[in-house]
Chains A and B, each alone.
Chain A
Amino acid sequence: MSRCSHISKLIGGAALALCAAAAFAAPGTMEGVEKQPVNVAAIAMFCVFVLSTLGITYWAANKTKSTADFYTAGGGITGFQNGLAIAGDYMSAATLLGLSSLIYAKGFDGFIYTISFFVGWPIILFLMAERLRNLGKFTFADIASYRLDQGKIRTFAAFGSLTVVCFYLIVQMVGAGQLIQLLFGLEYNYAVVVVGLLMMVYVTFGGMVATTWVQIIKAVLLLGGGTLLMLLAFSQFGFSFEKLFATAVSVHKDGAKIMGPGSLLSNPVSAVSLSLGLLFGTAGLPHIMMRFFTVPNAKEARKSVFYATGFIGFFFLVVAVLGISAVVIVGQDPQFFVDGKVGGKIIGGGNMPVMHLAKAVGGDIFLGFLSAVAFATILAVVSGLALAGASAISHDIYARVIKKGQADAISEMRMSKIASVGIGLVAIAVGILFKDQNIAFLVALTFGVAASVNFPVLILSMYWKGLTTRGALWGGIAGLASAVGLVVLSPAVWVKVLGYKEAIFPYDHPALFSMSAAFIVTWLISVTDRSTQAAKEAEAFEEQYIRAQTGLGAAAASAH
């Protein structure tokens, strides 16, 4: 009992501190140029979200007793719930704002991006979902190191996870700070601290149970809010696609060009590299893979991808309609442009069309609601990332590598909480550190590393008997070095960050080259590996194969 009241005090205290932070932020808004006035409706609605999710965290804290509860909610999430949570993990604020603004600016080119973000999901279902569930326990390193050297491969896989988590956290935290400053009129640093603290509370106390429910609530809010916005906007065109697109073409500066592919993906190498990165990068994101271990069995794992794919696909189509509607509704309204100059700079920057659309069709209350949803979205995504990072530290590095599997549950649990708090602090620090930095390249880096480091070792360990420790290690290093190296030499870093005139590597996405490098090196080193260890690893494939196919011996759901 004393533990519960302790937690409730902490959570209650956190809630108070956060609402106080929001209130204090008001005076600061006078100085900023780009900042909006304090949005009372948005803050009120966000506080409701925070209080209810903290309530859930309190409930979840009482259910989080074992490490299995912490990492995977004891495997007790249903396929439908997990499908919503996966969709929530994937539908970040960047998806809503970034994809809709890309369609607003570029028309069909933006839609190609949207489609490329989507098609990885069916492939994950067909080739990976059931094997992931049958082989994994808590982290993707469980699978990568299933029959390979625990020390080397698990450490490397955990390192791969942490790298991806870290890059993605920077993207999310900086995005959070800017967005919240803009929408809520909350100081950038306050916003970053609020996100970091809430994330720590959710993850540290509520583990996977709380993180999943935060994600589910947010996914429902985002799907509902997005659909409502789409209906409101679309009704202005009498729900006629022809009328919507005809008006958009007549007012867009590119005219009929927005109706088909333009210049954005005209280079086939660049198009293929981008799509490989998005497709297989998705399959290498640790916070997404971890979701497959939260369901009781392979059957539910498959179902969750079916639901997730449906929600994500639906949402992406909604986003496309939003982007085109914004061309007409936002693009012609002087109130959304700096100094009222239609066609000039959009107030709040290029990512804002969908937010302005909310205001145009639903007024301030609806804008407030959507702002609160955007905030909630960021919060949910960073929580998932933090949990994935904490699992890599406490389960892979601490319990398996350092303690060699001999760690007792209490100390592992303690380590997981220390890691969660640590990641929260790191997230706040990088959020503040990278403020005003050009971080566009980090998205390419996140997906590049996920596709070139995490994905090859994962897929080969499940499908290829010949994979050896040595091959996986060198292949992983080749993937990592080439992904990072090529991004540094790409226009996004070489030209835009370092200021050189011409990029050495002309493409923004490295996946075509870095993934190939990883696979070729892994193959080459594995087939030439004649060590006795390599022979043993090949022998162990059979047991792994039978488990992957049938689920024999797979981690079961813990009783609740």
Chain B
Amino acid sequence: MSSSTVQQRIRQHPKFAELVARRTRFALVLSLFVLVPYYSFMMVVAFNPALLHQTMGEGVMTVAWPLGALLVIGSWLLTGVYIRRANGEFDELNQQVLKEATR
């Protein structure tokens, strides 16, 4: 079987369209979950730094440091969320498409 027929079968496979749509949407949503908080943070840094200078409770600790750490930890956790779904659900779907198209 030539590779172009396999290609054609994959393209026409309903699960392929589903896989691509779902995975692309998921990746875009997660990217926004990283970029929107990060750039919001940068804009506060540029336009209203006083907001980040507020202290939490009695001590010297400001909201800036924990928020910064949260950006790092939070975006790492999102990578975990992505690979959990991509390497599980999406990969299974991908294998199904490949198997059925090359059969």
A545-560 Cβ-contact flags toward B at 8 Å (1 or 0): 0100111110000000
On whether the beta carbons of B60 and A119 are closer than 8 Å, the reply is: no
B38 with A249: CB separation less than 8 A: no
CB-based contact A122/B6 at 8 Å: no
Minimum Cβ distance to chain A for residue B98 (Å): 6
- Give the complex CA separation of A120 and B41 in angstroms: 15
B61 touches A241 (CB 8 A): yes
A262 contacts across to B, CB distance below 8 A: 49
Q: How far is the CA of A261 from the CA of B52 in the complex (A)?
A: 7
Closest Cβ of chain A to B97, distance in Å, is 6
Could you tell me which residues of chain B, from 81 to 101, have a CB within 8 Å of some CB in chain A? Answer: 82-83, 86-87, 91, 94, 97-98
Using Cβ atoms and an 8 Å threshold, which residues of chain B touch A267?
46
Chain A residues with Cβ below 8 Å from B76 are 122, 309-310, 313
- Tell whether, in the assembled complex, residue A260 and residue B64 are in contact, meaning their CB atoms are under 8 Å apart: yes
Interface bin, chain B: 35 or more
Instruction: Evaluate contact between A543 and B7: CB separation under 8 angstroms.
Output: yes
Is A261 a contact partner of B34 (Cβ separation < 8 A)? no
- Kindly supply a per-residue 1/0 record for chain A positions 224-260, scoring 1 wherever the CB is within 8 Å of any chain B CB and 0 otherwise: 0000000000000000011001100100000010011
Q: Are B60 and A309 in contact (CB under 8 A)?
A: no
Interface size class of A (residues with CB under 8 A): 35 or more
B10's nearest neighbour on chain A, judged by CB, is A546
- Are B82 and A125 neighbours in the complex by a CB distance under 8 Å? yes
Instruction: Count contacts between A and B, CB distance < 8 Å.
Output: 155
With an 8 A cutoff between CB atoms, is A316 at the interface? Answer: yes
**Chain B residues closer than 8 Å to A265, beta-carbon distance:** 42, 45-46
Interface bits A454-482 vs B (CB < 8 Å: 1, else 0)? 00000000000000000000000000000
Are the C-beta atoms of B59 and A542 separated by less than 8 Å? no
Interface residues of A in 98-120 (CB under 8 A from B): 108, 111-112, 114-116, 118-119
Bound complex: CA A299 to CA B35 (Å): 24
CB of A550 within 8 A of CB of B98, answer yes
Q: Is the CB of B72 within 8 A of A261?
A: no
Residues from chain B with Cβ under 8 Å of A303 in the complex? 83, 87
Binding site for A on B (CB under 8 A): 3, 6-7, 10-11, 16, 19-20, 23, 27-28, 30-31, 34-35, 38-39, 41-47, 49-50, 52-53, 55, 59-62, 64-65, 68-69, 71-73, 75-76, 78-80, 82-83, 86-87, 91, 94, 97-98
Q: List 21 A-B contacts (CB under 8 A).
A: A111-B65, A115-B71, A119-B38, A122-B78, A127-B27, A241-B61, A265-B42, A268-B42, A272-B42, A302-B83, A303-B83, A303-B87, A305-B79, A313-B72, A313-B76, A317-B73, A542-B7, A546-B10, A550-B16, A550-B97, A551-B98
Q: A256-B53, A306-B82 are in contact. List 12 more A-B contacts (CB 8 A).
A: A111-B65, A112-B45, A116-B42, A126-B27, A245-B59, A259-B64, A262-B49, A303-B87, A309-B76, A310-B76, A317-B69, A551-B94
